[in-house]
Chain A
Amino acid sequence: MIGTISYLVFFATTASILAIAVLGLNLQWGNTGLFNGGVVAFFGAGAYGTLILGGTPQDGHLGGYGLFYPLALLGGMAAAGVMAWIVGLLTLRLRHDYLAIATFGVAVAFENLMRNAEWLAGGAKGVRGFERPLRDALGDGFLYNIAFFITVLIILITVYLFLERLVASPFGRLLRAIREDEEAASSLGKSPSRIRLTAFITGSVILGLAGGLYGTFYAFVSPQDVLPTLTFQIWAMLIVGGAGNNRGAIFGAFLIWGAWTASGWALSRFAPVEAQLYTGSMQFVLIGVVIVGMLMWRPQGLLPERLVVSQRGSKE
């Protein structure tokens, strides 16, 4: 019994952290129409940033600043934001392909750098020596996991409320206006490239927050955590849930993470031993089929965006 509950808590914690990431991507793609091909780089910047800033001193690589945890988490978010700022500044003035390719490139380069630069973040061995906050008070067991889950849930709800407010605000209307018709928006005196940059950075900071929490949860991060797989999973969550709808984003996160975990479990349990090597390939085919299938048959997702018309034109 306690085993099942503790597994459910573990599952819900991971899904909630991913849901925060999907919310960040939703601001970029769903609300603004910005294609982020390197979700995992911003997620990873948050995780690496948090662990390096908040960890204990280590031989051989950067870090061990032992910063007060909330500050370390903020630092991780800032790292993701700075990366988004650089990429956005260079690409957001150009046609949308450039952002897609550059963000994809960031993810490749980020993973490559983390894997090779031992002086920076321990290389392939990853960042060690991170103490989870409040571990002395709560211990390492079930109690800690419950407390951590509740914290993540509170953060998820906060991010959700923040984004709902943002999307309903004049700024949110501006985002949709630029997404739908950039020329019309600029004819009203708005600067599409500046607004897009703001939305891109905000979304990336939220991705960084999710990454920081993920790193904290495992108290460890390595290049294995920043593989492109995560980018595909987070996209599938958003597309299945419904781009443009924050509730859809959260729903999609739980649904796809559940399906991913279940399919992995089923394949490892029921597939013949000689096929075990190929479970990864099978799961990737599945996630590819989910993305393409949704785009072809239900591009608006399971919970579509609800467009609110704030002021209807009078009908004479």
Chain B
Amino acid sequence: MIQNLIDGVLTGSYLSLGAIGLTLVMHILRFANFSHAELLSLGAYAALVFDALVTALAPVLATKLGPLSLTYALLFAILISMVLTGLSAVLIDRLVFKRVREKGWELSMVFASFGMALIIRNVIGLIFGLSPELYSKDIAFAMILSRDPLILVKPDQVFVLVAALALMFVLHLILSRTTFGYALRAVAENPSLAQVNGVNLARTVMAVWLIGGSLAAVAGVFYGLSHQVIPVMGRDLVLPIFAATIVGGIGSVYGAVLGGFIVGIAGNLALVVLPSGYTPSIPFMLILIVLMIRPHGLFGEARA
């Protein structure tokens, strides 16, 4: 039970990171982006490639950080992957979503995002193969926190949680303390009025994709560290991430963080009462419950 709770918090940390970007995009561009989870896979695979590259170029960096299975090389790779995934998100928007948006077919954006998800997921599968990959082949030994009841935590998981919380705090500072943060909130409230006040709409949209993409990359790598890197990871993550945004309220960054943890914890606690085969259905059950009791989520507001 306590073990499930801890695992849930750790699952929640990468779900939250994924949900933040999704909720921002859904708030500013007003469409449910079904390809967001594919940015997580993109980030995970980019980190895999650059981890190998950095290790080959500078073998010194292949040393591990203390008790973690994480190497300095992978840390570098994560940074590169964040930039690359952010830029890919901008590029996908330029190539596809922007064009569909400008045609005025707002509802068609959802279709376009599904199409993009199919393309990205399967191209990754074609390039990297369908079998799972790992960042480190060494077995990471778990620390025993308590023997009765048995509670195990891997050092990597602690790192994932701390790093995720740190990133969220940085984002919180950006959103609440900088002019850019105000501009972002202004665009979300009323795009025309924000433009009248000198906010560059195109640049704000680009920034949203950059932030969303880079956080998705981190989330993807963290998922890979906790489980494995596999082309279909986006398919398995899309519903939990959407559930996190709905639980938190579409458009609320803090809601997305809380929603991510709620979905993660609920999924792991459900293992106590339900066979593990039913885990993929838990996010949907949460969505139904939230829609029944509080349709706009914990922090969301009613908006057409």
Contact = CB atoms under 8 A, between A and B. Distances in A.
B75 to A, nearest CB: 31
Q: Which of A33, A91, A98, A228 has the most CB of B within 10 A?
A: A98
B114 A291 contact: yes
Q: Which of B105, B118, B275 has the most CB of A within 10 A?
A: B118
B125 interface: yes
A98 B284 contact: no
A299 B295 contact: no
A97 B118 contact: no
Contacts of B31: 97
Given A91-B291, A100-B32, A288-B122, A112 B112 contact: no
Interface in B89-148: 96, 99-100, 103, 105, 107-108, 110-112, 114-119, 121-123, 125-126, 130
Interface residues of A, number: 42
B107 A35 contact: yes
A108 B284 CA distance: 8
Given A33-B107, A105-B239, A232 B114 contact: yes
Nearest to B125: A281
A150 interface: no
A295 interface: yes
B115 A291 contact: yes
A116 B303 contact: no
Interface in B133-179: none
A282 B99 CA distance: 25
Interface string B184-222: 000000000000000000000000000000000000000
B115 A97 contact: no
Q: Which of B105, B243, B275, B287 has the most CB of A within 10 A?
A: B287
Nearest to A105: B284
A295 B111 contact: yes
A188 interface: no
B284 A109 contact: yes
Q: Which of B277, B283, B284, B304 has the most CB of A within 10 A?
A: B284
A305 to B, nearest CB: 13
A298 to B, nearest CB: 11
A115 interface: yes
Given A288-B122, A295-B108, A98 B114 contact: no
Contacts of B277: 112, 115-116
Given A33-B107, A93-B295, A282 B114 contact: no
Contact of B118 (A93, A108, A277, A284): A284
A95 B107 contact: no
A102 B291 contact: yes
A165 interface: no
Contact of A100 (B100, B110, B291): B110
B84 to A, nearest CB: 21
Interface in A87-132: 90-91, 93-98, 100-102, 104-106, 108-109, 112-113, 115-116
B118 A285 contact: yes
B239 A278 contact: no
B291 A292 contact: no
B26 interface: yes
B102 to A, nearest CB: 10
Which 7 A-B residue pairings sit nearest by Cβ, starting from the closest?
A: A288-B118, A291-B115, A105-B284, A288-B119, A292-B115, A116-B277, A97-B32
19 contacts: A35-B110, A91-B291, A94-B291, A94-B296, A97-B110, A106-B284, A109-B285, A112-B278, A232-B118, A277-B130, A281-B130, A288-B115, A289-B115, A291-B111, A291-B112, A292-B96, A295-B112, A299-B100, A299-B103
